Amino acid sequence: MVSGLILSGIEPVWVEPRWDAERKLAHPPSAEDFERAFESHPDARGAVVTSPTPYGGCAALRAIAEVCHRRTRPLIVDEAWGAHLPFHADLPSWAMDAGADICVTSIHKMGSGLEQGSVFHLQGDLVPPGLLGMRADLLGTTSPSVLIFAGLDGWRRQMALRGEELMGGALDLAAEVRSAIEEIDGLHVNDRGDFCGPGLSDDFDPLPGVIDLAGLGITGFQAADWLREHRHIDAHLVDHRRIGMQITHGDDRETTGQLLEALSDLVRAARDLPRAPRVEVPSPAGLRMEQVVLPRDAFFGPAEDAPVARAAGRIAAEMITPYPPGIPAVLPGERLTEPVLAYLRTGLAAGMHLPDPTDPELDTVRVVAEGAR
């Protein structure tokens, strides 16, 4: 989405997520948040929301769609983690059933597609199909992979015939795994009670098993590194205090048994791991930086590298994104602040992966050149 802002030159209006200050993570904005944003910016051309988040938090899509459609504006849903949602009644509503105009679904995440296998879903008359096709063709290859298309079609057929059965099995298995992890000392799996409620998410996908490690005194980075090195298990989500272990229709008791054994071994190993490096996670207010230049202008305009120790107050000319989960902490055109820079520096020292800054060591930050504005 940020790349789209850079390429198109659109002026973004940011709708603040709902912050869980205790757990230090973000949930999707509410319908009321979008209502206020449209009232403050009546010329806004549409809305985009991510649901589910990589943590499993889901937005009230039907209510958000109603806010948009009352103004004849389209709702676009980034449903990268929601390929499985249409196929079982116990899962949150998928975007099309909730009235979204477009949703983008990554079949390669929660489905059976190959990497890069993603699809647009389109309905209603607010976005002409021909127009969407033209826009997609700007970025699509002229040599598409038949393997990716075959994977998409194979997934479609599989779920049309057996979707409810497969998702029901995954839900039952996830419930077993969640209960088993809760029995392991020092581990807690975030559930609906943790993520849903006033000021939090509106719904919850139980398949992302987000495990809080605060009871072990180690970071998610340490845990993920240990599991990869010693048990050949990759976490799908890693942050300063959590790891995520995604359960899908491709899992069975053999794979989840390996996971539970590895987690038990991790708990024993945690006693001997080095003291967890401290990640300076800002307050919710400290994470928000002022957008002072259009993302396109900052990204493509004159820029220079500034020492990170003197970058506060400068205007970013690049994205800086902790990954996973792949949610940018810095956007082109934002005025950098010391709390965000300290978060990134301490996170990098603790094992955070930053794939997109021009200086991967973050000794410098690419900023708008002095006087360029």
Domain ranges of the chain: 2-148, 163-270, 284-368
Q: Cα separation of 212 and 23, whole Å?
A: 9
Q: Is the pLDDT reported for residue 373 higher than 70?
A: no
The pLDDT assigned to 363 comes to: 97
Q: Cα separation of 257 and 247, whole Å?
A: 12
> Which residue, among 25, 16, 14, has the nearest Cα to 282 in the 3D structure?
25
Contacts of 59 (CB under 8 A, 6+ apart): 28, 29, 30, 49, 50, 51, 201, 202, 203
Q: Is the pLDDT reported for residue 211 higher than 90?
A: yes
Q: Cα separation of 220 and 242, whole Å?
A: 5
Q: List, for residues 286-299, the tens digit of each pLDDT value.
A: 888 999 999 999 99
**Top-tier CATH class for 284-368:** alpha beta
Q: What is the CATH number of domain 2-148?
A: 3.40.640.10
Strand partners, 244: 210, 237
Instruction: Give SS3 for 137.
Output: helix
Fold that domain 163-270 belongs to in CATH: Aspartate Aminotransferase, domain 1 (3.90.1150)
**pLDDT band, very low/low/confident/very high, at 284 (cuts 50, 70, 90):** confident
State mean pLDDT over 327-336. 95
Contacts of 32 (CB under 8 A, 6+ apart): none
Q: Is the dihedral of CA 118, 124, 130, 131 positive or negative?
A: negative
More confident residue, 137 or 284: 137
DSSP class of 51: -
Contact (Cβ atoms closer than 8 angstroms) between residue 355 and residue 323 = yes
Other CB atoms within a 10 A radius of the CB of residue 169 amount to 15
> Which residue, among 77, 120, 86, has the nearest Cα to 205 in the 3D structure?
86
The pLDDT assigned to 251 comes to: 95
**pLDDT band, very low/low/confident/very high, at 153 (cuts 50, 70, 90):** very high
What are the φ and ψ backbone dihedral angles of 297, each rounded to 5 degrees?
-65, -40
- pTM of the shown model: 0.94
- Residues of the chain with pLDDT > 70: what percent? 100
Q: Cα separation of 192 and 53, whole Å?
A: 14
State mean pLDDT over 148-160. 95
What are the φ and ψ backbone dihedral angles of 354, each rounded to 5 degrees?
-120, 95
Residue whose tokens read 């992979």:
145
Contacts of the segment 20-25: beta carbons below 8 A, 24+ positions apart: 20/195, 20/199, 20/200, 21/283, 21/284, 23/190, 23/194, 23/212, 23/241, 24/240, 24/241, 24/281, 25/55, 25/239, 25/242
Please return the burial class of 187, using the count of CB atoms within 10 Å of its CB with bins 0-12, 13-18 and 19+. Answer: buried
State mean pLDDT over 306-322. 96
Q: List, for residues 96-113, the tens digit of each pLDDT value.
A: 999 999 999 999 999 999
**Equal fold, 163-270 vs 284-368:** no
Other CB atoms within a 10 A radius of the CB of residue 289 amount to 18
What are the φ and ψ backbone dihedral angles of 308, each rounded to 5 degrees?
-60, -30
Render 247-313 in DSSP notation, one character per residue: --TT--HHHHHHHHHHHHHHHHHHTTSPPPPPP-PPPHHHH---B-S-HHHHHHS-EEEEEGGG-TT
Which token pair is 314?
């400068």
Q: Is the pLDDT reported for residue 228 higher than 70?
A: yes
Q: Give residue 219's Cα distance to chain centre.
A: 19
Strand partners, 121: 103
Mean pLDDT of the chain: 94
Which token pair is 184?
């392991």
Which token pair is 135?
């826009």
Q: Cα separation of 243 and 51, whole Å?
A: 19
